[in-house]
Amino acid sequence: MKTCQLLVLSCLLAGALALPSTLQDQEGRHKTGKLSAEKPKFDGMKPHLDGMKKPASDDKKTALLGDTGTPSVRSGAVSCGSHVITEGSSAVIESPNYPSNYNSYAYCAYSFTTDTGKELQMNCETFELEGDEGDQGDEDEGDQWCEFDWLRVNDVMYCGTRGPSAVGGSRLDIVFFSDESVVEKGYRCTVTVVEPTVLPAGSQLGCGTSRLARGKYTITDGDGDYSNNVDCYYQLYADQAGDQLSVTCSQFDVEDSWKCGGDWLSLNGIRYCSTSGPSDVAAIDRMSFHWHTDSSEVRPGFGCTVTVGETPPPSDTCACGQVNRASRIVGGEETEANEYPWQAAIYRIDRDLTFCGGTVINSLYVLTSARCTARSSASDIQVQLRKHLTGQDDNEIRFNVAQIKVHPNNDWTHQYDFALLKLATAGPRSTDMVAQI
């Protein structure tokens, strides 16, 4: 029964979390020009973003670049899209207009693979993106939220001046996004083919990218109390495709802060602090950590065990649409049209862009991420059903949105990251859509 309940819940949330959730209007700042205006003072409470909205600009908004336009690249840099890197070759990616500042409303998605059986590694010689204001208006803390401009590499977000270094894997999925304000120099990074190194079981994992054989590994902040001002990124990959990685922290004592805004360990984007660390958290093929400390209190830290092994077979006894296919998780097979008809696409009207996902829960409501609705009104977005490929017309059904209902406890740290979209007209019920397959 417990397995059934978990699978039903995962089906409900899959649509809300499946697509990038930070591609949205960003109007949480008041900045102009190079945009060095004074930040709001921290008064002991988190500033509410609605209170810092940027005045409307008289300038016409720049169209999205990348997938809807080709970025301006120098000789030797590749364009947005999919690329296969062969033995002895490499690829350079640059932000639009590099080495000049990139545009507002830029978007570019890359996908890199190699046919050599080896790994890809990415290093950035230049990385200057807009950094966020941080949890207390402190510039040193500002690169952690990545709310505004960002580069995402295999699900890890980078912004400010803290860019990727020796990030690798058999596949690199990279997305660049900039919002309506603050433009910086951008990035220039190189992707190369490297010989894969598999760490033996029993090793202690360090910052960076690691490929793991089956067995147990340890990951820790070090001996004694941890240090201040640390940012350590881990990207872990199972050596055998389809294997499961799971992590449990037997020791976890990290600074207790409001919404984990001080010191924290994030696991696949979920932050942990105080004495509540990850326990039996699992993922297929890969897993990412980010260990961050600020300049104040230090504590004993964490000690965790990462276990790599064969993925348990999915249950075929729960009546939740179809059998859960492990190959669908990350980098798997392409989904067939209408295979998951209860999933919805969230569409931004003014940008002509599908940017988030949702799940039909009844004829009037679609569940999505609160981040997909931040600083958007109901008239800004539509819900699309029966959408298959974002780059083409699939004869999808479109519905206007009458109301956005965000979870009352949601805040800018993205706790309680849920929102309901009430459709202007009734659509198919989720049970009707499931019955079609």
- Confidence check: pLDDT of 394 > 50: yes
Q: Which pLDDT score, from 0 to 100, does residue 313 have? A: 79
Q: Any idea what the CATH number is for the domain that residue 267 is in?
A: 2.60.120.290
- Do 306 and 214 lie in one domain? The reply is yes
- Do 88 and 181 lie in one domain? The reply is yes
pLDDT (tens digit, 9 = 90+) per residue, 341-387?
A: 788 889 888 878 888 889 998 888 999 998 888 778 899 999 988 76
Q: Examine residue 220 and state whether it is found in any structural domain, yes or no.
A: yes
Confidence band of 253 (pLDDT split at 50, 70, 90): very high
Q: Which pLDDT score, from 0 to 100, does residue 431 have? A: 46
- Do 85 and 189 lie in one domain? The reply is yes
Residue ranges making up the domain that contains 93:
81-135+145-194
Comparing 229-233, 280-284, 322-326, the range with the smallest average pLDDT is 322-326
Does pTM top 0.85 for this prediction? no
Most confident of the following: 11-20, 250-259, 336-345, 411-420: 250-259
- Do 261 and 189 lie in one domain? The reply is no
Q: Any idea what the CATH number is for the domain that residue 414 is in?
A: 2.40.10.10
Number of domains in the chain: 3
Cα–Cα distance, 226 to 236 (Å, whole number): 22
Percentage of the chain exceeding pLDDT 90: 29
Higher pLDDT, 293 or 390: 293
Q: Which pLDDT score, from 0 to 100, does residue 171 have? A: 87
- Do 180 and 211 lie in one domain? The reply is no
Q: What is the DSSP string of 217-286?
A: EEEES-SSSPPSS-EEEEEEEESSTT-EEEEEEEEEEB---GGG-SSEEEETTEEE-BT----SEEEESE
- Confidence check: pLDDT of 276 > 80: yes
Confidence band of 137 (pLDDT split at 50, 70, 90): very low
Comparing 43-47, 231-235, 257-261, 351-355, the range with the smallest average pLDDT is 43-47
Q: Which pLDDT score, from 0 to 100, does residue 46 have? A: 33
Q: Is-contact 359 367, C-beta < 8 A? A: yes
- Which of 171, 194, 217 is at the close of a domain? 194
Burial of 206 (0-12, 13-18, 19+ CB in 10 A): exposed
- Ramachandran area for residue 166 (φ above 0: left; ψ -120 to 50: alpha; else beta): left
- Do 238 and 285 lie in one domain? The reply is yes
Query: What is the average pLDDT across 112-126?
Result: 89
Q: Is the peptide bond before 278 cis (omega within 30 degrees of 0)?
A: no
Percentage of the chain exceeding pLDDT 70: 69
Q: Which pLDDT score, from 0 to 100, does residue 404 have? A: 93
DSSP state of 139: G
- Do 251 and 271 lie in one domain? The reply is yes
pLDDT (tens digit, 9 = 90+) per residue, 406-426?
A: 988 876 556 788 899 999 988
- Do 286 and 202 lie in one domain? The reply is yes
- Do 190 and 229 lie in one domain? The reply is no
Cα–Cα distance, 418 to 12 (Å, whole number): 12
- Do 304 and 204 lie in one domain? The reply is yes
- Which of 295, 310, 325 is at the close of a domain? 310
- Do 370 and 398 lie in one domain? The reply is yes
Distance of CA 275 to the CA centre of its chain: 25
Q: Which pLDDT score, from 0 to 100, does residue 118 have? A: 86
Q: Which amino acid is at 101?
A: N
- Do 89 and 187 lie in one domain? The reply is yes
Q: Which pLDDT score, from 0 to 100, does residue 139 have? A: 36
